[in-house]
Structure 1
Amino acid sequence: MELSADVSHSRPRDAFDDHKPPKKRSRDPFAGLNQTEARVPPLPSKGQKLERKWSMGERRSAPARKRSTEPFKALKMQRALAAVPYGQRSQIKDQISEMESFEEFELLPEVQQAIADALPGLENVSPTPAQRVAIPELLGMKGKRVRRRNPVEKKEMEQFLLAAETGSGKTLAYLLPVIDAIKRAEAIQLKEEAVKLAAKEAADAERRKANLFELESPPLSKDHNPNSGRPRAIVLVPTAELVAQVGAIAKSLSHLCKFKAAPISASNTATVIRNRLFNPKGVDIVISTPFLLGSIVESNPNILSRVSHLVIDEADSLLDRSFSPITSSIVDRATPSLKQLILCSATIPRGLDTYLQKRFPDIKRLVTPNLHAIPRRVQLGVVDVNKEPYRGNKNLACADTIWTIGRSAAEHSAEGKEKIDMKRIIVFVNEREKAVEVADYLVSKGIDAIALNRDTASERASHILASFKGLAKDEEPPVPSPEAVKAAKTNYFPVGSTSTRKLVNTKVIVTTDLGSRGIDTCAVRHVVLYDVPHTTIDFIHRLGRTGRMGRRGRGIVLVGRGDRTDVVKEVREGMFKGQALI
């Protein structure tokens, strides 16, 4: 084999070569045979990086990605929460560490005594971090020495944002200062009326002395109470269930404090709403939803003429697109008489943060040290739906998980040592239609499950919640038979089968995030996340439904195909480290 004489010489260039596209390097394994030089890159000297020159026949691989050392990368990609610096968290933690009892707050004696009625069955009650942060500021306390503001002389409206994790006692944190302010204003008003009455009696006595023979007119019938339908404080909540929950707490406080609370919602009849709001004895606190109160204000604007305290609970919901117009109109109409505006929320979404910066730039933010963090007492488990025996069937995995939870209580009750432990579980889904589908499947597997969403009628929702919260007084808890306990040990259901067994010791509600607002979840120890939440806000709200008021809880995530496993992994790491999910 002989090579050509000009094999090492390149072809002469012509005028058309400048317009031709550059010739691509061939990936053929024999593309480098006609090379006359080895083209081996030199060795790098000390302190210099290796600059690799690629040969014609070598395939260039993609450069290695730099591994990020910054934690929670996946969560920051979908971050929707306003950040709170850790330096500020530490400072708040040091400030509230010295407050160990409610007696350190400058509350009226009757308000102090009413706390025991609001928290029955608890001894040596100590305030939660949310209450330690909020109550002193709302009362105007400065350190341990109190300098109280006069609610009558104060003209400027104070604005507060109370942001604390779910289950931290925010309701009591804003109710106690509001009730204290109402009772103090009432005492001042009684003194003023006593002075006016004494002056009037003195004037009448002088008039009678001057006109001894003048006949006195008979006393008139008692006039209608001018405070009827004119409350001093209003609490706005998004759902009728929350109206009943906050109203029950306010009623427990009113036994000793002697104030009138009126919880009104769409679940009440028109007669009940009228009797509570326009009570002849007057009303002090009205708890309602924005749409109902807004419709009443349209026909009776005088309702907001005496409001000194306005509380917007669940502000992240009441100030979003659906509630914001009606909530803002109520705030605007009540502003002339307002002394305090209190916003409460379990999270500070970026949308709420932007709204507050525009509408209330001077608002004072009261945050807890563990804001946007899931407590360590709540554990998070993960079930891989793609593995055996589920093979991608989430409904099957959900039923199997619930039977596993209920089985432990059934086995314990078979020994006969204690009564059966009733398990209450909340299953969270992302779509309202999915709630009905999952609940029907769980019922077919012998589980007492009911779907609850925003489309559920008010009366039916109240009945569902009453059944979920506890048994009737005259109802004995069911005790499973030994055969049922034995059958519950094998909790695997083949796909498409219908179970004849019943899980009698478990109650399940399948709901969405908004549907769960207002559910009294102190007895809930387990939540099942059927769908992986879209954002960290949903993670905090869903896992916050368990482990409330210092109790332990457990959340279980069902991870299937297409779910964000990286987000679930980082949430578990953040919960283990006790860090905020921002």
Structure 2
Amino acid sequence: MPFSSLGLSPALLKTLENQSFTAPTPIQELAISAILNKKDVLGIAKTGSGKTASYVLPLLMNLQGSIIGTNNRHADVLVLVPTRELAEQVKDVFKTFSRTLPQPVKTVAVYGGVSINPQMMGLQGVNVLVATPGRLLELAGSNSVHFSGIQTLVLDEADKMLNLGFKDELDKIIALLPEKRQNILLSATLSDDIEQIRQVLLKEPVVIKIAAEEASLDLIRQLAYVVSPDQKGPFLRYLINHHEMKQVLVFASSVQLVDAVVNKLRKNNIDAKAIHSKKSQGARTEALAHFKSGKLKVLVSTDLMARGIDINALPFVINYDLPRSPKDYIHRIGRTGRADAPGDAISLVSESELHHFEVIQKKMGRQVELITKNLNEL
């Protein structure tokens, strides 16, 4: 089914063509028409399945003709997201697709970790407001944003917001919104918490569940090395140098470990930067931009930040240590092997992690080659 059959305007179809979008993904195919018809939607699909465009395109269509154009702080669409990186990513998608529209649409992203005053000033004339819950409540508390004009509420990555403890903030925000509105709830997983929000938030929703495609793992070459904890740092540097890696995303389980790995890499003349919740927004944005452009060889991240890292042809992902859950493991390695480009996912597994790695493999339904390595043998 082509995009032209989904009821999108010629201006949006032209932008899709210019951006090399050839055909809708499954969730786009099902969600776009439902949202155009002002239906509530529950969309369950994995990260990277095209969820953002599935609501951005029809919401831009619905805004055309309904924007009054007054210079106020009354947003028409509110999109709530869990992280600063995702807020910027969603804002960029709205801006990209709205450029050719006959009626301008102003999109603003607000989030913590940066000065609130420029964000306050930027809200003048806003149509689409993309926000993290905490900063939005700060702005609402200072009367810097008004909700009476909200036509549509989007909860994007709702599972992540709940996992990060945003439920109380979400309840407070929802209580401030007009009762009559369209609601769109998007999540990578369907948990009991998501079901509870669905019952409260959604009215006769169109339910879209896109099963995760296990075949996507076929593009990822997985390999694991049994390495003692004290040898993980040197072995990581060996892998980067031996394989002449030019762009590698390394995952570590905590902020402290991320910083320690980066410091060791830099002391050994390997260009690396950290991205985690303790870094300033400016530092995070710069590190991610340099990594995506290929200027930075190694980016070391926590699981939280992974939601904002989407690179079509990322060649290498390395697990410095294993994540707590098999789902997080699959999410980590899924940063590579995208857009029909194969990639390598390498895990450094200590003996104490072997049982957990067996659990991950069982949940994943795949066996990973496990090699015991000693640096003295290299």
TM-score (norm 2): 0.86
- Cα distance, 1:469 vs. partner? 2.0
Does the CA-based 8 Å contact 1:377-1:553 persist in structure 2?
yes
> Which one-letter code corresponds to 1:292 in the other structure?
R
Q: CA deviation at 1:540?
A: 2.8
Residue pair 1:527, 1:556 contacting (<8 A) in 2 also: yes
User: Structure 2: how far apart are the matches of 1:573 and 1:362?
Assistant: 35
Aligned to 1:424: 247
**Secondary structure, in 3 states, of the residue corresponding to 1:460?**
helix
Matched, 1:182 2:63: yes
**Separation of aligned partners in 2, 1:306 and 1:515:** 32
Q: Which letter does structure 2 place at the counterpart of 1:277?
A: L
Alignment partners' CA distance in 2, 1:166 and 1:404: 32
CA change 1:526–1:365 in 2 (3 A) is farther
CA distance in structure 2 between the aligned counterparts of 1:301 and 1:451, rounded to whole angstroms:
33
1:545 maps to 335
Is contact 1:166–1:544 with CA below 8 Å preserved after alignment?
no
Partner of 2:17: 116
Counterpart residue type for residue 453 of structure 1: H
Is 1:241–2:88 an aligned residue pair? no
User: 2:17 & 2:113 partners in 1: Cα distance?
Assistant: 29
Q: Does 2:228 correspond to 1:383?
A: no
- CA deviations 1:119-165 (Å, max 9, x no partner) are 2xx3x71112231232233234xxxxxxxxxx5xxxxxx43222222
Distance 2:186 2:106 in 1: 23
Could you tell me which of 151, 169, 177 is aligned with 1:334? 177
Pick the aligned partner of 2:36 from 134, 139, 142.
Answer: 139
Q: Give the aligned residue type for 1:294.
A: L
User: Is contact 1:377-1:551 (8 Å) kept?
Assistant: yes
Cα pair distance change 1:374/1:273, threshold 3 Å: same
Within the alignment, does 1:275 sit opposite 2:98 as a pair?
Answer: no
**Match for residue 129 of structure 2?**
286
**1:528, distance to aligned residue in structure 2 (A):** 0.7
Report how far residue 271 of structure 1 moved.
Answer: 4.5
Within 1, Cα distance between the matches of 2:193 and 2:321? 24
**CA distance 1:406–1:321, shift in 2 (3 Å):** closer
Q: CA deviation at 1:561?
A: 1.2
Counterpart position of 1:266: 112
Give 1:134's aligned amino acid: A
Aligned-residue CA RMSD in angstroms?
2.8
Alignment of 1:515 onto 2:353: no
The alpha-carbon deviation at position 168 of structure 1 amounts to: 1.8
Letter in 1 for 2:217: P
Secondary structure of 1:310's match? strand
Q: Contact 2:313 / 2:341 at 8 angstroms: preserved in 1?
A: no
1:162 to 28, 31, 43: 43
Q: Deviations over 1:262-302 (max 9, x none)?
A: 22333654453233211xxx322111211111111223286
Counterpart contact for 2:249–2:318, Cα < 8 Å: yes
CA contact (8 A) 1:425 1:527 kept: yes
User: Does the residue aligned with 2:208 lie in a helix, a strand or coil?
Assistant: strand
What is aligned with 1:229?
A: 73
- Any idea what the Cα deviations from partners look like across 1:199-253, whole Å, max 9, x if unmatched? xxxxxxxxxxxxxxxxxxxxxxxxxx64621111111122222222221221111
* Matched position secondary structure for 1:395: helix
In the TM superposition, what are the counterparts of 1:52-451 in structure 2 within 5 Å?
A: 99=1, 101-117=2-18, 119=19, 122=20, 125-140=22-37, 158-186=39-67, 226=70, 228-257=72-101, 258-266=104-112, 269-278=115-124, 282-300=125-143, 303-320=146-163, 322-338=165-181, 340-353=182-195, 355-356=197-198, 363-370=205-212, 375-385=217-227, 393-406=231-244, 423-451=246-274
Query: What is the CA–CA distance in structure 2 between the aligned matches of 1:461 and 1:302, rounded to whole Å?
Result: 26
Identical amino acids, percent of aligned pairs: 29
Pairwise CA distance, 1:363: 4.6
How many angstroms apart in 1 are the aligned matches of 2:313 and 2:126? 33
Shift in Å, 1:513: 0.7
Partner SS for 1:256 = coil
Cα offset for 1:364?
4.1
Q: Which secondary structure state, in structure 1, belongs to the residue aligned with residue 307 of structure 2?
A: coil
- 1:358 and 1:393, CA in 2 relative to 1: closer, same or farther beyond 3 A? farther
Partners of 1:242 and 1:268 lie apart in 2 by 15
What is the identity, as a one-letter code, of the residue corresponding to 1:370? A
In the TM superposition, residue 517 of structure 1 has moved relative to its aligned partner by: 2.8
Whichever structure has more helix as a proportion of its residues is 2
Contact 2:247 2:314 in 1 (8 A): yes
Query: Is 1:570 the counterpart of 2:354 in the alignment?
Result: no
Q: Which amino acid aligns with 1:136?
A: S
1: CA distance between counterparts of 2:5 and 2:144?
Answer: 39
Superposed CA deviations along residues 496-529 of structure 1, whole A, max 9, x for unmatched, are xxxxxxxxxx611111111233234334221111
| Cα distance, 1:179 vs structure 2 | 0.9
- C-alpha displacement of 1:464: 1.7
Please give the alpha-carbon distance, in whole angstroms, between the structure 2 residues aligned to 1:343 and 1:373: 26
Q: CA deviation at 1:545?
A: 1.8
* Paired residue type of 2:66: A
SS at match of 2:165: coil
Report the secondary structure of 1:344's partner residue: strand
Rg larger for: 1
The letter of the residue matching 1:106 is G
SS in 2 for 1:287: strand
Q: Extract unaligned runs of 5+ from structure 1.
A: 1-98, 141-150, 152-157, 190-224, 408-422, 473-505, 577-582
Letter in 1 for 2:161: L
Task: Judge conservation of contact 1:392–1:561 (CA < 8 Å) in 2.
Answer: no
AA paired with 1:443?
A: R
User: Any conservation in 2 of the 1:133–1:367 contact (CA below 8 Å)?
Assistant: no
CA apart distance, 1:254: 1.7
Question: How far apart are residue 374 of structure 1 and its match?
Answer: 5.2
User: How many residue pairs get matched?
Assistant: 364
- When residues 549 and 167 of structure 1 are mapped into structure 2, their CA distance, relative to the original with a 3 A threshold, is farther
Which amino acid in structure 1 is aligned with residue 4 of structure 2? E
